[in-house]
Amino acid sequence: MRSTNEEEQSPEAESGARGPRGIQSVEVGGQLLKVLAHTGRRMALKDLAR
């Protein structure tokens, strides 16, 4: 017999909660790559964070 918690946590619910975070990671990574390409030189992480 399955417990109530197992029934409430379907694979669809788990993937839906993780989807936006993964997309945001790609968007942030893309922004960092744009900045690096625009500057044309190496940058410290502290400068990229600005």
| pLDDT at residue 33, as a whole number | 93
pTM for the full predicted model? 0.51
Q: Which of 47, 26, 25 is nearest to 35 (CA)?
A: 47
Report pLDDT digits (tens) over 1-50. 555 555 455 555 555 555 567 788 999 999 999 999 999 999 999 998 88
Cβ(20)–Cβ(27) under 8 Å? no
